[in-house]
Structure 1
């Protein structure tokens, strides 16, 4: 591991000029949940407060918005087309333009103070999505959805975030944003169950800068957006930080690899409910940014409705 860590540190140094650049002036209120479609060669992402699903075609520089009737926290691509999505009211099946086809499961929490937040399709083809407790009483949770229904996996959260899986599918990473730690748990692909947590990364406790969304690259490194700090950080599987990349706005939210070779790293950002002086300094807040990554990402799993 020591030799591997040294190589990565040298790589980070030679790539010091890598930086995120504006690729889509989307000005989302709260951009989140970027997902690359290999079949279409486009990036989908949500604006939670828009609320909308957004389709960005990098080859054409074209953005399309599919408006939603309620806040939408996360999406996953479905085998055969369309989306599975976590909205305030629950888990929904949507068509290719974001129109509702069926409600799959109710949000089991009080929707007056709870909505679905960060989530993604797991390596097993099931959908994993967590909630945010807007009352800040630690009542939110992380759930698994499959053909058997909605199953609670982790309790006692305030804001479920940072969900990602190791390349071999044996480890699940997770964040409860206000706690400012990244945890790792064993993951069983056959059953979709998780083991006890262990703290992998301690983020300095700063109310103005907290861990948000994440993804994993093909080398197993964990990339984490630090909301409020204008940076994205890269960590080895053992939790060692090996890179920090500036984002030209204050609040990056979540990451996804895309492009034909999966070497373009996209990051969504927040553009509402921020101080006026911040918006004056960073007028592109809420837009989509990207950089050339030092390593490729992983193909996005598709939700399997038969599981």
Structure 2
């Protein structure tokens, strides 16, 4: 079950809350964020270079969009980011979101829609929920009443979407189509496997298996489409937040980590905490659709 693979430290920047790893197949780079420090990062594996832009607030995710832009989820709504100008521009608010909430994680589906979640920034109130952004319109869609949302993640065929309730220690699944999303049902109760850990950002591979990062769990785990645990990759970091599959063959797994919940003295136990990590995955990912603005 445990996969023994070499894990490379791609970037050690002491991320407070590294998140949102996303492979940009067109640019051949990986985007990710440090939510609490308001940074949007990009790593270019061809050159080994890393650069960052400071967002105008807490930034949960950035997804490649049409027109050379990125669509980003910040605490106060959706923004576009122009990598050439290094500029953020406010696009729209998320209607009805409480001021104490922020946006946390997102993905695209094959039709260029963006599925994203909100959460209480204090991680206390169950005020988070999921939405879909479809060519300029935001609609509530998916589970509600969640304190920390993660995902969503969509299958290669676009017929399934996975929603994560981190505090509830469960991943849910719903049927998906161009017409919309069905009722969510339980996919995996991760608390039954790791009582002291919490499912964080998920991604689906080309075989339709779901990988999830495990916060407080020091690993990423791979589940079959019927919810059976098939593999784990362990790290020298405790708080694993998100994984994506990239590289020219989509077989490089990039993994973000966090340090914000490490107590004084714990950092020595987890030397890769706060790093962007990478390993060779046993199965490929697939190209994500660009956001249709």
Instruction: Give TM class, smaller chain.
Output: over 0.9
Asked if structure 2 preserves the Cα contact closer than 8 Å seen for 1:74 and 1:118, the reply is: yes
CA RMSD of aligned residues (A): 1.7
Matches for 1:136-175 after TM superposition, within 5 Å: 136-154=124-142, 155-175=144-164
CA displacement 1:209-255 (0-9 Å, x = unmatched) = 10000111111110010101101100100001110110110011001
**Judging changes above 3 Å, is the alpha-carbon distance between structure 1 residues 235 and 58 closer, same or farther for their aligned structure 2 residues?**
same
The corresponding residue for 2:11 is 24
Scaled by the length of structure 1, the TM-score of the pair is 0.89
Task: Work out which of the residue numbers 82, 96, 101 in structure 1 matches 2:89.
Answer: 101
User: 1:116, CA displacement in angstroms?
Assistant: 0.3
Tell me, in whole angstroms, the C-alpha distance in 2 between the residues paired with 1:107 and 1:89: 10
User: 1:106, CA displacement in angstroms?
Assistant: 3.5
The corresponding residue for 1:204 is 191
More off after superposition, 262-271 vs 140-149: 140-149
Please, which runs of 5 or more residues in structure 1 have no aligned partner? 1-11
Other structure's SS at 2:266 match: helix
More off after superposition, 296-305 vs 130-139: 130-139
Tell me, in whole angstroms, the C-alpha distance in 2 between the residues paired with 1:137 and 1:284: 31
User: 1:148, CA displacement in angstroms?
Assistant: 4.8
Tell me, in whole angstroms, the C-alpha distance in 2 between the residues paired with 1:279 and 1:301: 37
User: Any runs of at least 4 consecutive aligned residues in structure 1 with deviations exceeding 3 A, and if so which?
Assistant: 205-208
Alignment of 1:35 onto 2:17: no
The corresponding residue for 2:33 is 46
**Alignment length (residue pairs):** 289
Alignment of 1:236 onto 2:263: no
The corresponding residue for 2:69 is 82
Tell me, in whole angstroms, the C-alpha distance in 2 between the residues paired with 1:69 and 1:198: 36
Other structure's SS at 1:80 match: helix
User: 1:146, CA displacement in angstroms?
Assistant: 2.0
Tell me, in whole angstroms, the C-alpha distance in 1 between the residues paired with 2:13 and 2:45: 13
Scaled by the length of structure 2, the TM-score of the pair is 0.93
